Structure formats: structure tokens, C-alpha cells
Amino acid sequence: MNAIIAALFLIFLAVFGDGTNAFADADAPFGTGVTKATANKAQDQIEIQARADAKSQSKMAAVDRAEPSVKLPTLAQPFGLNAVLVASGELLTNWSRVEADIRAESEILAQCRENIVRCPPAARIFLAIVAEGRAHGGRARIGMINRAINLAIRPMSDLAQWGVEDRWTAPLATLTTGFGDCEDYAIAKYVALVEAGVAAEDVRLIIARDLVRGGGHAVVAVRLDGRWIMLDNRWQALADDGETRRLIPLFVLDREGVKQFVPVSMPDTPSIGTVR
């Protein structure tokens, strides 16, 4: 009787232990089938555990490789967001082209510093703004440059001025005509701030979607004492990025190139050629 109960108990374990079919080998003797089922179950458990361990190690390796890009300072970028580099596209083309123009204009500025008499009027205006900025520090420097650039340029769309939907100009080119749209203001402020002594790594040009007026908009962000301050051509007042709720940040431009904010990803990114 005890032998029968023991046999039934083994059958119960083999059938219901983990869903394995204990009768897969129907031609084998009864005892052999139970033994093989138990052995197969043990082997399956070993293989499952081995696969789980391998997968776990793979995940940990991936986490280790990703750590440097994940553990960014909270305010490494404006709005407390991370950003990833953009490898191609019209925005990168525009930024690369205007950076080349900025480098060319820097040579003009260098010559002007040596001989102000032969300096073009636009360069004199720009150097005067930079000098006034250098005479101040901190938030006063940022506010002064924001106001000076806003007053030195009158708003005009690229279509009205150049006959094209979108054209970016370097500061001296913009000041030569005296007209520009949002990205022209932003580019002039970006360069002026760096020329006035603000560290290049603390200045960004932001492309955003304006929720109030619609369409795209360009502003400048400056990091001061661990906080990001926004400079807008539409008003003289400065505001922290956390207070700028009408803008959805899309892209950030700096000396490293063009980056897209994460996780913000807006479909159908609008053209920023028109001042709003």
C-alpha cells in the first residue's frame, strides 16, 4: 500500500510540478518515465536560470555603458531636460552656415579692435554693445545685452527682407540692415554674450514652439548661478526657464552643434523664419 501511495505521489509531482508532460516517453517503463521527467525538469530549470543570468548580465552591461549619458546635471540643459545630438537636417545646415559666418565676422571685429577708424558701422555698434556688457556683471550684463540687441534691430520677416522663407544671418550682417526676425536677434545675443565674457558653455540658442501665438520661435538661454535665464526679442524683462510656460522647447543649439530635447518631440516642427 505504501509503495502504491509513493508511486502516485511521484506521478502527481511529475504531472503538476511545473506543467511538464511526464508521459512524453510513453514507450519507457513506468519508473523510467518518472525518473526521466524529473531529470528533464531539473535540466530545464538549470537552462532557464542560465538564460536569466545571461540576460541579467547583458542588461547590467547596457546600464553601465549608458550611465555617463544618463547622469547629467539637473540643469545641464535649459528647462531641466536632456538633449541628443542631431546628425543631419535643415536646422543643422542653417546653424553650421551661420557659425561659419560668425567666424568670418570675428576677424572683422579683431581688425576693428586694432583700428576703430576703419571699422564698419555695424561692427562699431556691436563692439559698443559688447563693451557695455563687459562693464557689468551677472544678471545686469545679461539684461543689458538683451535690451541693447532688442533696440538695435527692428523686426522683419525673412520673406519681407530677403524674399525667402528662412534665412539666418550673423550679427554684423543683421546690424548692417538693421532688420531681422527672431533667430537673427537670438544669434546676435548669443555672440554678444560670449564676446562680453560669458562662458560659451553657459549660452544656448533655443528653438521652441510658441503655444500662445503659434509657430516657431527662437530665444537665447544663459546659465547664471546654476539657473537658466531666457532672453526674448519680444520683451526686455528676463525670465527663468521655469517661468517661460508659453514655449515648448524643441531644439538647443550651441558650440557642440544641434541637439533635440528629450523627451519633448513635437511632430511637424514649424519654420522659425517669421517673427511672432
Contact 194, 223 (CB under 8 A): no
Q: How many domains does the chain have?
A: 2
Residue range of the domain that includes 251: 78-262
- 106 and 42 in a common domain: no
Does any domain span residue 274?
Answer: no
Residue-level pLDDT at 42 = 44
pTM summary value = 0.70
- 40 and 91 in a common domain: no
- 54 and 110 in a common domain: no
Does any domain span residue 69?
Answer: no
Half-sphere exposure of 35 (CA within 13 A, CB side): 5
Residue-level pLDDT at 214 = 87
- 244 and 184 in a common domain: yes
Beta-sheet pairing, 154-155 with 179-180: parallel
CA 230: distance to chain centroid? 16
Residue pointed to by grid coordinates 525667402: 164
- Cell numbers given for 188: 546676435
Residue pointed to by grid coordinates 539684461: 143
- 182 and 117 in a common domain: yes
Does any domain span residue 155?
Answer: yes
- 110 and 51 in a common domain: no
- 46 and 113 in a common domain: no
- 150 and 14 in a common domain: no
Tens of pLDDT, residue by residue, the chain (276 residues): 444 444 444 444 443 444 333 333 333 333 444 334 444 444 554 454 444 444 333 333 332 322 333 333 334 789 989 999 999 999 999 999 999 999 999 999 999 999 988 999 999 999 999 999 999 999 999 999 999 999 999 999 999 999 999 999 999 999 999 999 999 999 999 999 999 999 999 999 999 999 988 899 999 999 999 999 999 999 999 989 888 888 999 999 999 999 999 864 444 555 554 445
Does any domain span residue 177?
Answer: yes
Residue-level pLDDT at 175 = 98
- 124 and 16 in a common domain: no
Residue-level pLDDT at 125 = 97
Does any domain span residue 98?
Answer: yes
Residue-level pLDDT at 255 = 93
- 149 and 95 in a common domain: yes
Rounded CA gap, 193 and 186, in Å? 11
SS3 245: coil
- 93 and 168 in a common domain: yes
Does any domain span residue 162?
Answer: yes
Return the closest-CA partner of residue 271 out of 187, 162, 183: 183
- 175 and 201 in a common domain: yes
* Sign of the dihedral through C-alpha 146, 152, 157, 159: negative
Does any domain span residue 275?
Answer: no
- What separation in angstroms does the CA of 93 have from each of 90, 99, 157, 168, 274? 5, 10, 20, 10, 18
CATH number of the domain encompassing residue 249: 3.10.620.30
Cβ neighbours of residue 145 under 8 Å, at least 6 residues apart?
129, 132, 133, 189, 192, 193, 196, 231
